[in-house]
Structure formats: C-alpha cells, structure tokens
Amino acid sequence: MAQRNVVLLIDAENMPPALASAIIEEAMRHGDIFQRRIYGDFSQGTLRDWLEAAPRHALTACQTIAGASGKNGADVALVIDAMDLFHTTDADVFCLASCDGDFTQLAMRMRQGGKTFVGMGRPNASARFQAACDSFTVIYAPKEPAKPVPPPTASAQAPASCRALKAEVLQRAFVSAPRLDGEWVGLSQLMVALKAHQPGFAVEAYGHSQLSKLLAFSGVELADNNRKARLRTPHLKKVVDNGQESRASASN
C-alpha cells in the first residue's frame, strides 16, 4: 500500500506543548507528514513554551493575533490554511490536534472532499468535533519518571503554607470536565482538567498532600468519600473557552 501524505495542524491555543511528541507520533501512524504547523498568538505568555517546542519537532509556528474581543484569529487562520492545502496539495490525510467544536464543519468538509480527517485532543474535547472525524484519538500527557527525593533539610521539614485555587481556575476546570451527575465531577476527571488548563499543575505546590484537601481548602463541596466534587457558588459567571464567551452555571 502506497504511503499516504499527511498534513498536521495543531491548535496551540487549545493544546499544551507537553503533548507535542504524542501528537506527532499519532500523526505518523497515518502516513508521511509533509506539513507540520501550529497556530496561536505566541506573544502571549501562555504559548511561549510552544515556541521552544517548535524547533525540536520541526513545527512551523504560524503567528496570529485575535481581532475583536472574543474572536479567535488562530482558528480562522488554521481553517484558511487547511483549505489552501486541501486544494493545492496531494494530501491524503488531515490531522488536527484540538478540542474545539468550532472545527466540526472543517472536518465534515474535508471528508466530503474525499480526505481522511483525523482528530486528536484531550479527554474533554468537543463531542461534536469527535463525531465529525473519521477517527479521534485522546492524547494524554506522558508520565515523568520518578525523581529521587533528597533527604529533608531543617527548612524543608517546615510545613508549606497552604494556598487555595483561584476561583477562575476552578470555574474553568469544572466547566471543561465531564459530569458524573448534575454538577458533580469525579476527582480524577477534575485533575485532568486542572492539568489541561495549568500545565505542570501539582497539588503539592499549594501546600496540600491530596487533591481532595486542596479542593476542600478552596471551598469546593466534596461527596462520595471524596470521590466527587462540585462548586458551592450558586451565581453565574462568565467563562472564556477557546476564544468564545459563554455563561455557565457554577451550581444548581
């Protein structure tokens, strides 16, 4: 069977750079990657790590700047380039790494044009986007090898000051995490969401030994032997997700 030509497009504003290797590895399973591009406003501090990862993975960084408030320039640029490559190259497979449901129509158009469309994203990726792809693969962050722990010094033995999670961080995590029942979210799913929104997130950095203790300290309601949680705050809060503004209920 002839090797297929693959285009890889990454929504850098929607995917953490820690997943770069796993994304490329998955794309290579579908053929020979001849285009590797990432899209985002890399002047933003949250995306600077992608600029460091780009040369290591032979990725072309496509700088975009958002226009009006709430408008995502990266999404628009990615779609334009995808359609240009659709019409001007002999690409057989388009791989898109994102969790954004706004790419649903792009996936459908590519498939209608006879191309194979492969989606990749985190566990909280849009269900609409996943359904529109020929196949969708959940990409997980690689596990770091355990590091030897040095013997504690006198200063290290002092208890770390406990800190709470910011309300905005909690709101984003609860909005993106899949629900168990109503507003309840499983702690394992919530941990995934927190790490997705804050690459490098660690409970210990807040002075706590367990996620449940950190959540309780942050005012989150726990139940089922600390296996699920929900926000206590009943008011509505504006949430920004993938460049789009929406209103989400923090609790019933």
The mean pLDDT value for 74-87 works out to 95
Stated as kind and residue range, the H or E segment containing 191 is helix 187-197
Res 181: pLDDT: 77
The mean pLDDT value for 226-236 works out to 71
CATH architecture for the domain at 167-249: 2-Layer Sandwich (3.30)
pLDDT over threshold 90, residue 171: no
List, for residues 118-134, the tens digit of each pLDDT value.
999 999 999 999 999 99
The C-alpha atoms of residue 57 and residue 53 are separated, in whole angstroms, by 7
* Third-level CATH fold of 5-138: Rossmann fold (3.40.50)
Contact 220, 205 (CB under 8 A): no
Ordered by start, the domain boundaries in the chain are 5-138, 167-249
pLDDT over threshold 60, residue 67: no
Rounded to the nearest integer, the mean pLDDT of the chain is 83
pTM, rounded to two decimals: 0.56
Res 3: pLDDT: 83
